[in-house]
Structure 1
Amino acid sequence: MSLDLPPPIAAYVAANARLDADGMLIPFAADAVVFDERERRVGKAQILAWIQSATIASRAVFTPVAWRQEKGVIVVEGPTTGDFPGSPIPFTFRFTLENRAISALEVG
């Protein structure tokens, strides 16, 4: 099923499905910010480290099932499956896009 996600988000999701850390990083702006597990990561180096530890290490794959726009934020929902306790777990990803890149991502 295609959700017709905005291109930077679609690229992130497609790379995640392949567990391709470098591909997941490409859609982020150089100064992007990621908020996950009460931690803030800024810039591509910190975001790549987060991708490696939070996604690649546990083989976590997010499968979007719905998305909507709320006050300039793209909210994407779906399960994440992988090698971690409780898998699959429902997640909500809140993306902010600027200049055709992900400028912020909040994972919840």
Structure 2
Amino acid sequence: MSIKLPQLIADFVQAKNDHNSDAVIACFANDAIVHDEGQEIRGTNAIKKWTDASIEKYQFTLEATALVERDKETVLTAQVSGNFDGSPASLDFHFIINEGRISMLSIRLTGD
């Protein structure tokens, strides 16, 4: 299924799939916050470390399967495949975007 993604989210997905942490953090505001696996990651320096660690640990790729925009949040559902138990898994990426950059991202199992 081919889904038309907003450019910033398309750039984020491409950077993740290319395992390019510099391109990933270019999508984020300097004071952005990420919630993933019970952690809160604040700021682009910490987000880069989180990105590098997750790329090394999971060696994952994302395939967009759905996109919903509601209120101030954009939710991307993606099939995530990689080196982890339960792969592939469906994850929801909850984005809040301000001034052309991701200000908040929360990653959850689809349905949680």
Same fold (TM over 0.5): yes
Match of 1:68 in 2: 68
Give unmatched runs, 5+ long, in structure 2.
Answer: none
Report how far residue 98 of structure 1 moved.
0.4
Give unmatched runs, 5+ long, in structure 1.
Answer: none
1:32-51 matches, within 5 Å, as 32-51=32-51
Report how far residue 101 of structure 1 moved.
0.5
Match of 1:86 in 2: 86
Residue pair 1:91, 1:107 contacting (<8 A) in 2 also: yes
Number of equivalenced pairs: 108
CA deviation map 1:50-105 (0-9, x unaligned) = 11122343111121111011221000002100111211011000000000111110
Q: Are 2:10 and 1:10 equivalent residues in the alignment? A: yes
CA distance in 1, matches of 2:6, 2:27: 11
CA distance in 2, matches of 1:56, 1:2: 28
Which letter maps to 1:14?
Q
CA distance in 2, matches of 1:2, 1:105: 23
TM-score (norm 1): 0.92
Residue pair 1:55, 1:61 contacting (<8 A) in 2 also: no
TM-score (norm 2): 0.89
CA distance in 1, matches of 2:4, 2:84: 29
Report how far residue 8 of structure 1 moved.
1.4
Q: Which moved more, 1:96-105 or 1:55-64?
A: 55-64
RMSD of the TM alignment (CA)? 1.2
- Between the aligned residues of both structures, percent identity stands at 29
